[in-house]
Structure 1
Amino acid sequence: MSMHSEPPNGRDTLREKIIGLGETSLHKSYYPELQSRLAELERFRALLDQTYDAIFLIRAKTGMLADVNAAVRAYLGYSKKELLATSFADLISPQQRAWFVDFVRKNDDLPSESRQTCTASLVSRAGSEIPMEITVRSVTFGGEQYIVAIARDITDRIRTERDLKIKESALESSTNGILIADLTGAVMYANRSFASMFGYGEGGAITGRNLEAFFADPTVGEKVTAHLLDNPAIVQETIGLRNNGSPFHIQVSGSVVQNDAGQPLCIMLIVMDITWRIHTDQMKQETYAQLGRNIEQFAILGDHIRNPLQVIVGYAEMLDDPFAGKILEQSRRIDEIITELDRGWVESANVRQFLRRHGDGAEPPEEAFLCLWK
């Protein structure tokens, strides 16, 4: 036996250590750590599978998928085996995949941990397109370069943005002035009609101003704000103030915008320029007053005609002449005409009173029009 050979006891000890029977065996030293690492990986895999984001691990050189989480299979409808035989670019809508191809092409020149975010649609197995916000990131594992892509479904966000754009377009296209202010009265938004009505170039020029700047009486803005904090709505006619300082008549309808919990968020005002209506009402009042004066004057003129007519009738009755009968006959006709005019003036006065009471929306009685026509 050689001098350098291991003693029998030494060889047995080494053998037991290798096969895991000794007290300090390699198996006993590394197996618990390996089990711990595997358990940790399983927990991490479970966490990835619970997220709503679709996560792709892509081989940088080939663009083929190396791994995916459960959300990917749920969104796209492919099995994991099918996905691992597919390139990530093939899952992107053909019209939108150029950005990813370009990212892969430049991957070698990009610094480690470089990232890019883009909006694109992923195509499911059924052929439907799912809008996604996709963030791709270059990483290195075990000396091999990969790309991690995290895709988030933005269908609801796109729908919400579209609804907001529709509502914003509706506000902008309104012919009434619309203004939104915070609870202190500071303007947050004004549409084009409001800006034009008050003589501003655009709605943005109004943002930040206080409500008091748009009323001839500055205290009106404070009163409107205070009223709306205690009441759900307000409708008020007042005097507005244009940017050049000129006043004009406006009607303000206001309400408080609340969140789902009923808490006030902001104040919305709808403003109408009622200058034309106010001037029209003033003209109507002046017309009614003039009509009253005319009716009164017509009644006086009727009396003035009857007085000399009675004198003529008196003299005619005293005459013993064949022409006296003609004079009396014509006098009676004149009296009948004056009586008819009196009746028409009385009816005209009734029409005037009716219009005063009921305004433009009501129709005068038909007989009133007949009397006016006569």
Structure 2
Amino acid sequence: MSEHCEQEEYMADIRKKIIGLGASGQRKSYYPQLQEHIAELERTNQALAQSEEKYRTIVENIDVGIFRTSPGDDGKIVQANPAMARILGYSNVEELISHSPIDLYIQPRHRRATIARLDRDNVIKNMKSVLSHKSGRPINVLLTLKAHRNEEGKIEWIDGVMVDMTVQERARRRIEEERARLQAIFDTLPVGIMMIDSTGNVLMANDSWINIWRIENEAEAGFLDRYVGRRVGKSERLRREEWSIARAFRGEYIFDEEIDVQRFDGSMGTFLTSAAPIYDRSGKIIGAVSTIVDITSRRELEKELDDARSRAEMYVDLLTHDISNYNAAAMGYLQLADMSLDLDERDSRLILRPLEELKNSTELIANIWDLQRVESGREKGHPINVATMLQQVIRDHMDVPDREVKITMQDDCDCHVIASDLLSVVFSNIISNAIKHSQNALVVNVKVSRVTKKDYNVIRIEIEDDGPGIPDEKKEAIFNRALMGLSKPVSRGLGLYLVKRLVADYGGDIWVEDRIPNEYEQGARFVIELPAAPLEKNVENFITECNGPGRSI
């Protein structure tokens, strides 16, 4: 009886736990809760399936090899993703896992050494390895491995990640090769180069830097305090922060700055130094680089050249002055003889001919003098009113003995240019040549105008005459100083070479054309174009540009 009761109680308890039935066998209201538990379980399974699908998608599409292998020489590749098969050159995962892991190593002992290390450390991160591609060629990879152990502590399987380093390794080799080439260039350049890092420490100084400064102990190259230099013409020694490389580290760019230096062996010299900051990608200064060129010998040659030029200018000054005086005296005596002596036409020509040659000689000497002033660079530019200068030149040429010469001028603008006073030589040469190389009555017309060319203005001066003109084949040659072979009627002597040289130095252009197109016998027209002077507020800067290095006005 007691056993029967115990059995009844046990069954009731089972019904209660399973389906919620009481002792009467009637179902309780637990069915909705069961449905809810089932629904929750289904949601959990669905979420797990989605998670597994995401994981599978990532593993199968990631560009990194993921794998699981078993240890030992007889180990197998248990799992692998497509990326690993592709990295090792296999067509698919199935082909890859048909091979043993030890087959993937060029040297089987490397696999054994890796397993031994993993057994000791349990995890290996970013280990560089060389595996065997399916084609047999070596392939550089980066391995990360983790050991999973059984209850006995032995490695049961190995999970790993493989990164193909072929591209990176190839890039690294290219960088190393490029660095080697740059280093070779760096060391063989005749220019001294030094680089510093963000802390001011010297990263490198090439051989030229060491040799130019004559440094015996290369370690001394990195201490700016040991360098001795002064700006040209200054007596104060440069402080550490005043050196070009230190200024470049503060963001300055220095180009071709001359400094007088005392080399490490005590000798003196002159260097040309440049420097620039080095920026990283974010725009932060991370260092600076400086270059030096030893121009000591060049400076000495320039000084010798300046001295020689000064002496030559002195000789030219003396020569032109004295010859001009001799010519003036000779012309005076000849003119006096022509006026005082009762000479017939034949004898008079014997006086007038040398008088004319002496005048030509005096004009040539004046041109040489003017050319020497141009070459020396002593003439500086300033604003010149073109019309005012032309009016004075015209007045100087109006009175021609025994000749009918008419000179007119048309001035359509208040035209200014930046030039030296030698600009009058340009106008005087052209007008005097027109008079000299014509025999009958002569008309010379001068026109001044402002012309716009693209985005700048020029002052155009046209000087035309109705003289014998210039043939087309000689229009270019007359501006060449090697034109002595030209015939007398068109020869313009050294004067027109000087004219073209002056116009070019003023930034302008000059050419000659027919006064009447295609009829050169009807006279010539000389056209001069010079840059128009800017507005008054910009004149000073314009003059500075015109008078800069290499300009002789």
Residue number in structure 2 paired with 1:233? 253
Deviates most, 218-227 or 262-271: 218-227
1:244 is displaced (CA, Å) by 2.6
Q: Verify the 8 A CA contact 1:199 1:242 in the aligned structure 2.
A: yes
1:87 is displaced (CA, Å) by 3.2
1:157 is displaced (CA, Å) by 5.5
Q: 1:159 to 1:261 in 2, by over 3 A?
A: same
Select 2:292's aligned residue among 260, 268, 271: 271
Paired with 2:321 and 2:372, the residues of 1 have a C-alpha distance of: 14
Q: Verify the 8 A CA contact 2:194 2:209 in the aligned structure 1.
A: yes
Task: Please tell me whether residue 222 in structure 1 is matched to residue 241 in structure 2.
Answer: yes
Offset from partner CA, 1:278-315 (integer Å, 9 cap, x none): 44543443344234212211222213423653576378
Paired with 2:216 and 2:142, the residues of 1 have a C-alpha distance of: 37
1:221 is displaced (CA, Å) by 4.2
Paired with 1:150 and 1:201, the residues of 2 have a C-alpha distance of: 53
Select 2:265's aligned residue among 244, 267, 281: 244
Q: 1:106 to 1:254 in 2, by over 3 A?
A: closer
Q: Verify the 8 A CA contact 2:228 2:261 in the aligned structure 1.
A: yes
> Could you say which structure has the greater relative contact order, defined with CA pairs below 8 angstroms and 6 or more residues apart?
1
1:195 is displaced (CA, Å) by 3.4
Residue number in structure 2 paired with 1:101? 108
TM-score, scaled relative to structure 2: 0.44
Select 1:211's aligned residue among 212, 224, 240: 224
Which structure is higher in helix share?
Answer: 1
Letter in 2 for 1:163: I
Residue number in structure 1 paired with 2:311? 290
Q: Verify the 8 A CA contact 1:179 1:270 in the aligned structure 2.
A: yes
1:343 is displaced (CA, Å) by 3.1
Aligned with 2:281: secondary structure? Answer: coil
Paired with 2:271 and 2:134, the residues of 1 have a C-alpha distance of: 56
Q: Verify the 8 A CA contact 2:70 2:76 in the aligned structure 1.
A: yes
Residue number in structure 1 paired with 2:185? 173
Letter in 2 for 1:190: A
1:256 is displaced (CA, Å) by 1.8
Q: 1:62 to 1:184 in 2, by over 3 A?
A: closer
Paired with 2:367 and 2:326, the residues of 1 have a C-alpha distance of: 16
Letter in 2 for 1:103: H
Paired with 2:266 and 2:144, the residues of 1 have a C-alpha distance of: 53
Unaligned ranges ≥5, structure 1: 1-41, 359-364
Task: Please tell me whether residue 345 in structure 1 is matched to residue 368 in structure 2.
Answer: yes
Aligned with 2:204: secondary structure? Answer: strand
Residue number in structure 2 paired with 1:10? none
Residue number in structure 2 paired with 1:85? 98
Q: Verify the 8 A CA contact 2:324 2:362 in the aligned structure 1.
A: no
Task: Please tell me whether residue 299 in structure 1 is matched to residue 316 in structure 2.
Answer: no
Paired with 1:279 and 1:121, the residues of 2 have a C-alpha distance of: 65
Percent identical among aligned pairs is 15
Aligned with 1:270: secondary structure? Answer: strand
Residue number in structure 2 paired with 1:153? 164
Q: Verify the 8 A CA contact 1:302 1:338 in the aligned structure 2.
A: no
Paired with 2:115 and 2:197, the residues of 1 have a C-alpha distance of: 52
1:107 is displaced (CA, Å) by 8.9
Q: Verify the 8 A CA contact 1:120 1:132 in the aligned structure 2.
A: yes
Offset from partner CA, 1:229-266 (integer Å, 9 cap, x none): 44342223223554433343333222222223222211
Aligned with 2:222: secondary structure? Answer: coil
Aligned with 1:195: secondary structure? Answer: helix
Q: Verify the 8 A CA contact 2:215 2:265 in the aligned structure 1.
A: no
1:357 is displaced (CA, Å) by 7.0
1:179 is displaced (CA, Å) by 1.7
Q: 1:173 to 1:240 in 2, by over 3 A?
A: farther
Residue number in structure 2 paired with 1:4? none
Q: Verify the 8 A CA contact 1:58 1:64 in the aligned structure 2.
A: yes
Q: Verify the 8 A CA contact 2:194 2:289 in the aligned structure 1.
A: yes
Paired with 1:306 and 1:207, the residues of 2 have a C-alpha distance of: 68
1:185 is displaced (CA, Å) by 3.4
Residue number in structure 1 paired with 2:435? none
Q: Verify the 8 A CA contact 1:187 1:206 in the aligned structure 2.
A: no
Letter in 2 for 1:101: P
1:352 is displaced (CA, Å) by 1.2
Q: Number of aligned pairs? A: 318
Structure number with larger C-alpha Rg: 2
Q: Calculate the aligned-residue CA RMSD, in Å.
A: 5.2
Residue number in structure 2 paired with 1:123? 133
